[in-house]
Amino acid sequence: MLKKTLKWTGIILLFLIVGITAIVLLRQNTKYDAPYPAIKASTDSTVLARGKYLVYGPAHCADCHAKQGTEEVVNSGAEVDLPGGRDFALPIGHIYARNITPDKETGIGNLSDETIARSLRYGVGHDGRALFDFMPFHDMSDEDLTAVISFIRTLKPVNNQVPDNKMNVMGKIVKAFIIKPVGPTGTPPKQVKPDSTAEYGRYLAMSVANCRGCHTDRDLKTGAFVGEPFAGGFKMESIIDPEHYICETPNLTPDKETGRIYGWSEETFRNRIRKGKLIKHSPMAWGPFSRMSDMEIKAIYKFLQTVKPVNKKIEKTFYEKKA
């Protein structure tokens, strides 16, 4: 009797494994629908100038889409090509930054403005797949989204075939059941007036510079936020030696005991941003951020004073991996 029970248990388990495996494989190319924003690229010089500023500045597109190995060049402020290929090695596999130059074979040359805008705002790729939520532009204004797309249309086309993402078993399961498109939190604004207010600082920190995306703890398997906003604790491997070193984001909330910038004056905050990268392993886009205007740095500083204080002590922001 026991032998027969074990036999049927084994058969049932086998069918379950085969069934789940089949579902996971079938869901690797699940298609999603999302609106196409009414965004059209412009050739206006003012629009292009704003787009260039965002791409190489606070939106830090070059930090991910520049060629692997050019991190220090990007950090220095050089206007590099953006052919993609950077490998993000995560617990779920390898995700590669795409080629966003206007090359028609390997880049965005054959994609419409609306298709690119949909990817940035709704997290849906040109083929309908859900994109991994690396880009924080879901609530970017129509005006800034237009500027970014307009500028990247002017880049030199670079023929660079980026590999397809390589997901491990865990990654395929996550992709099948967890990864879904992430869209705006409400109706994105038509335009946002740049000024030194905390409101504009919130827009920059949440929808352009992605301060929240790194200074909030996240699950690297799914990208989900698992910590309090801006309280830090998000662990990321070194951008130059991921095998040996880890960076952990500091707590930016105004907590009296554990907030990294608690008690800082606006001048202290601005001077630290202007200094740029001090730890070469840091994944933060120090170079692009250091070139933000005084007005925008002031706005972000003001906004950070308004976020909820969270008592969370970050012992180290850079350390060696344990053997």
Parse the chain into domains and list their residue ranges: 45-177, 198-320
Give the C-alpha distances (Å, rounded to integers) separating 220 from 7, 50, 90, 277.
39, 32, 7, 24
The reported pLDDT for the residue numbered 77 is 77
pLDDT tens digit at each of 323 positions of the chain:
666 676 667 777 777 777 777 787 778 889 999 999 999 999 999 999 999 999 999 999 999 999 988 888 888 878 899 999 999 888 899 999 999 999 999 999 999 999 999 999 999 999 999 998 888 899 999 999 999 999 999 999 999 999 999 999 999 998 888 889 999 999 999 999 999 999 999 999 999 999 999 999 999 888 889 999 999 999 998 888 888 899 999 999 999 999 999 999 999 999 999 998 998 889 899 999 998 999 999 999 999 999 999 999 999 999 998 76
Phi, psi of 54 (to 5 degrees): -70, -45
The pTM for the full model equals 0.91
Residue type present at position 89: A
* Cβ proximity of 243 and 279 under 8 Å: no
Which are the contacts of 289, defined by CB distance < 8 A and separation ≥ 6? 57, 58, 60, 209, 273
At residue 143's C-alpha, the angle toward residues 140 and 147, to 5°, is 95
Query: What is the pLDDT, as a whole number, of residue 270?
Result: 97
Residue 80 half-sphere exposure toward CB, CA atoms < 13 A: 26
Neighbours of 221 (CB within 10 A): 14
